[in-house]
Chains A and B, each alone.
Chain A
Amino acid sequence: MSNLTQNTLLTPEERKRLKARQRTGGILKFLTVLPIVLAILLILFVFLSNINNAFVWQTIKRTGSSSGMLFDKKEVTSQEKGFELELEARGDDPAETLSDEENRRKFLLRSRIDHLPEANGEKDKVIVWTSRDKIVDQRPYLEGRRLKSELAAEAAEEGYDFALNPLLDKAFLTRNGSSRPHLAGFRTAIVGTLWVIMLVILLSTVVGVGTAVYLEEYAPKNWFSAVLEVNLRNLAGVPSIVYGLLGAYTFVRSWQMGSSILAAALTLSLLILPVVVIASREAIRAVPSSLRQASYGLGATKLQTVNNVVLPNAVTGIVTGVILAIARAIGETAPLVMIGGAGFISTIPGGWDVLFDRFSVMPLQIYSYFIVPDGNFREVASAGILILLSLLIAIYFVAFLIRLRFERKW
């Protein structure tokens, strides 16, 4: 029976079949890696294409600049005069703004008046960078680089400027929105997102954690809790745009909040509520019941137990859950389109009645660049997308770190 030269237990036929089976298995294994590779490629591609689009080579025709240029049909004789005219045109009081040190500085950051000293035989001039400057041509980074010399020569011939224009720069973060692509900024959107999200964090955490504590620690096991549970599960599956309809009908119209920060925050809070509740419940459930027993055993009341034992031990899970839900809220667009969030607003939300201010948020601003017929906004949108994505990645990273740091094995 023993045969030392043999190195298989199978008949040659079985052996061949096994080889084929293993080969099929190898192919299958490869096929299951493929989706992961594709997903990673997509993420990279999304980033790279937006980076490519956000750093553009532009050919610009400066129709807006000339000496003694007219600003709203009035002659600009000096820089100071230019400032005044610009402020007037915006509907602000020039004297007030320019005399107050702080306001003046703020204004200068945004002003489009520039003073060019005498040069090349030309006399001093005040240039008004009006928005009438026209982008003649604009190419994504890679393409522009390839055609650089060609484009530069062309631009020089026609008397245009040709330059690399990183749309995503410091100015982009600090400028307000504008209907002209090369002057558009993201500041209103960033401020809007901050206001809305602050409120959402507040509302959804309080209500979400409250609901979770109720369901896990207080609710009797009866039909009512069953209804609550089924209800939450179904809410989690309601499309975000339907929440938008709820917000538009109830908050904006019935409760007359208008398209305000408050309406947006309420809508988004309801939208992420199920997610927050589910994450918080999981975290609370992970607290071993032995800890609760110990607390009750020491004579603590339910409230004391929840406060001193359950919540402190569940806080990591709750915080991670809330962070991830907030990340989702930051990226939501459709519901805010429904409640009438604006693409372009001229005033930064603020002041004591900030809750009722109109607003824009980052994804809305990005979407609004799409609706404008002017195709040149596409590149600006990419700059906005990069900011939004960086913010989200930072948030995910924080959540990841928290989880890593506090991961607890009971």
Chain B
Amino acid sequence: MKSIGLAKKARPQEEIVRFALLACALISIATTIGVIYSLSVETFQFFTHPAVSVKEFFTGRQWSPNFQNNQHFGIAPLVAGTLVITGIALLVGIPLGVGSAIYLSEFASNRTRRIIMPILEILAGIPTVVLGFFAIFTLTPILRSFIPGMEPTNAMSAGIIMGFMLLPTVSSISVDSMRAVPQRLREAAYGLGATEAEVVMKVIVPAALSGIVAAIILAMSRAIGETMIVVLAAGQKPNLSIDPRETFQTMTAYIVSAATGDLEPGTPPALALYAVGMMLFLITLVLNIISHYVVNRFSEKYD
């Protein structure tokens, strides 16, 4: 047995461990600072470059960084590409995600749930480069066979596959928030003569709505930041349009194309890579913050 006096003595070993653990925790702070710093430096250089105007960047309608005589840095086409594809992805991903969540949380037996959860985990684990290959080489030919005007790379197949990619995210967060609805609300609804489906649609889903909305916002952020699927399946042509059959370049796709192309460091096209990255970072950050706000602000507090 140790005496109390001994336990109170300062232990260098304890202090070293505490310090090491603190250092670990600080690495995540350093990461954030690193991200912001590395994005800022070149973004700043980009915007202060004589060939670039801030106004054009945000309001211009043409993105052509590599045309020597007609160089334009209007981000609108990249944003359009990102939004069109994100829109399709959400159109596919929300019903899939929320629907499967309703099934898993409310209709499936425990056994079924235990089988299906790992399957969704596998879907979540398929690398996006694999999904991108599937989109371009399997889904696109199928879509092209019956939708006229579909280009060889297009927003639609990228968006559809991305919707499936979002399914597990939307589903698992929605399941969590639906399971968090107290059992006694289900009982109350059944006790009033509601059918199983009415209990779900009129009580559980509305009560879990804040969690579901948060899941959707998070999914949106993931869709905007997704890279490989769009690089492979949506193409590399900046396109200010809303036609999902066309080729688009998203913000992420530009970043990849600029990083893999032989751009001379310090030139506007190479710097633009970081400016676009900064935009991407800020947009997803804001969405993540909103998503958390929604959960904290609007979720019901039951005692």
A–B touch (CB < 8 A): the answer is yes
B152 to chain A, nearest CB (A): 12
Cα distance, A385 to B18, chains bound together (Å): 44
Q: If the complex has contacts A245-B39, A246-B34, A327-B125, are A39 and B134 also in contact, measured as CB distance less than 8 A?
A: no
Q: B107 at interface (Cβ–Cβ under 8 A)? A: yes
Q: B138 at interface (Cβ–Cβ under 8 A)? A: yes
Q: B235 at interface (Cβ–Cβ under 8 A)? A: no
Contact B25 A31 (CB under 8 A): no
Residues of chain A from 229 to 286 with CB closer than 8 A to chain B in the complex: 231-246, 248-250, 254, 270, 273-274, 277
Could you mark each residue 51-92 of chain A with 1 if its beta carbon is under 8 Å from any beta carbon of chain B, else 0?
001000000000000000000000000000000000000000
Query: In the complex, which residues of chain B have a beta carbon less than 8 angstroms from the beta carbon of A25?
Result: 195-198
Q: If the complex has contacts A33-B103, A237-B218, A238-B285, are A231 and B28 also in contact, measured as CB distance less than 8 A?
A: yes
Cα distance, A210 to B26, chains bound together (Å): 10
Contact B221 A237 (CB under 8 A): yes
Q: B284 at interface (Cβ–Cβ under 8 A)? A: yes
Q: A388 at interface (Cβ–Cβ under 8 A)? A: yes
Cα distance, A25 to B200, chains bound together (Å): 10
Contact A332 B127 (CB under 8 A): yes
Q: A393 at interface (Cβ–Cβ under 8 A)? A: yes
Q: If the complex has contacts A43-B119, A245-B274, A302-B14, are A32 and B100 also in contact, measured as CB distance less than 8 A?
A: yes
Contact B277 A46 (CB under 8 A): no
Contact A370 B133 (CB under 8 A): yes
A141 to chain B, nearest CB (A): 14
Contact B35 A248 (CB under 8 A): no
Contact residue among B24, B35, B99, B280 (Cβ-Cβ distance under 8 Å from A246) = B35
A226 to chain B, nearest CB (A): 12
Contact B195 A273 (CB under 8 A): no
Residues of chain A from 199 to 230 with CB closer than 8 A to chain B in the complex: 206-208, 210-211, 213-215, 218-219, 227-228
Query: In the complex, which residues of chain A have a beta carbon less than 8 angstroms from the beta carbon of B4?
Result: 299
Contact residue among A34, A210, A239, A299 (Cβ-Cβ distance under 8 Å from B284) = A239
Contact B133 A246 (CB under 8 A): no
Contact residue among B42, B130, B195, B231 (Cβ-Cβ distance under 8 Å from A389) = B130
Contact A363 B35 (CB under 8 A): no
Q: If the complex has contacts A246-B31, A273-B27, are A210 and B122 also in contact, measured as CB distance less than 8 A?
A: no
Instruction: Pick the interface stretch among A148-156, A184-192, A333-341.
Output: A333-341
Query: In the complex, which residues of chain B have a beta carbon less than 8 angstroms from the beta carbon of A392?
Result: 122, 125-127
Contact residue among B1, B96, B107, B252 (Cβ-Cβ distance under 8 Å from A239) = B252
Q: A36 at interface (Cβ–Cβ under 8 A)? A: yes
Contact residue among A235, A249, A389 (Cβ-Cβ distance under 8 Å from B28) = A235
Q: B256 at interface (Cβ–Cβ under 8 A)? A: yes
Query: In the complex, which residues of chain B have a beta carbon less than 8 angstroms from the beta carbon of A400?
Result: 118
Q: A308 at interface (Cβ–Cβ under 8 A)? A: no
With CB as the reference atom, state the residue of chain A lying closest to B93: A35
Q: B51 at interface (Cβ–Cβ under 8 A)? A: no
Q: A136 at interface (Cβ–Cβ under 8 A)? A: no
Query: In the complex, which residues of chain A have a beta carbon less than 8 angstroms from the beta carbon of B38?
Result: 245-246, 249-250, 254
Q: B22 at interface (Cβ–Cβ under 8 A)? A: yes
Q: A28 at interface (Cβ–Cβ under 8 A)? A: yes
Query: In the complex, which residues of chain A have a beta carbon less than 8 angstroms from the beta carbon of B147?
Result: none
Contact A207 B27 (CB under 8 A): yes
Cα distance, A43 to B14, chains bound together (Å): 49
Residues of chain B from 177 to 212 with CB closer than 8 A to chain A in the complex: 195-198, 200-201
Q: A301 at interface (Cβ–Cβ under 8 A)? A: yes
Contact A35 B197 (CB under 8 A): no
Query: In the complex, which residues of chain B have a beta carbon less than 8 angstroms from the beta carbon of A237?
Result: 218, 221-222, 284-285, 287-288, 291
Query: In the complex, which residues of chain A have a beta carbon less than 8 angstroms from the beta carbon of B226?
Result: 239
Contact A299 B2 (CB under 8 A): yes
Contact A24 B197 (CB under 8 A): yes
Query: In the complex, which residues of chain A have a beta carbon less than 8 angstroms from the beta carbon of B47?
Result: none
Q: A303 at interface (Cβ–Cβ under 8 A)? A: yes
Could you mark each residue 26-49 of chain A with 1 if its beta carbon is under 8 Å from any beta carbon of chain B, else 0?
101101111110111011011001
Contact A211 B218 (CB under 8 A): no
Q: A355 at interface (Cβ–Cβ under 8 A)? A: no
Cα distance, A392 to B124, chains bound together (Å): 11
Q: A396 at interface (Cβ–Cβ under 8 A)? A: yes
Contact residue among B131, B198, B292 (Cβ-Cβ distance under 8 Å from A46) = B131
Cα distance, A338 to B261, chains bound together (Å): 11
With CB as the reference atom, state the residue of chain B lying closest to A237: B288
Cα distance, A343 to B282, chains bound together (Å): 30
Query: In the complex, which residues of chain B have a beta carbon less than 8 angstroms from the beta carbon of A231?
Result: 28-29, 32
List, sorted by A's number, 8 A–B pairs whose CB atoms are closer than 8 Å. Answer: A32-B99, A35-B95, A210-B20, A239-B221, A239-B225, A273-B27, A334-B256, A371-B260
Residues of A with Cβ closer than 8 Å to B? 18, 21-22, 24-26, 28-29, 31-36, 38-40, 42-43, 45-46, 49-50, 53, 206-208, 210-211, 213-215, 218-219, 227-228, 231-246, 248-250, 254, 270, 273-274, 277, 299, 301-303, 324, 327-328, 330-334, 337-338, 340, 363, 366-367, 370-371, 378, 381-382, 385, 388-389, 392-393, 396, 400
Closest 5 CB pairs of A and B: A239-B225, A331-B127, A25-B197, A210-B24, A249-B38
Residues of B with Cβ closer than 8 Å to A? 1-2, 4, 7, 11, 13-14, 17-18, 20-25, 27-29, 31-32, 34-35, 38-39, 41-42, 95-97, 99-100, 102-104, 107, 116, 118-123, 125-131, 133-134, 136-138, 164, 167, 171, 195-198, 200-201, 218, 221-222, 224-228, 231-232, 252, 255-256, 259-260, 273-274, 277, 280-281, 284-285, 287-289, 291-292
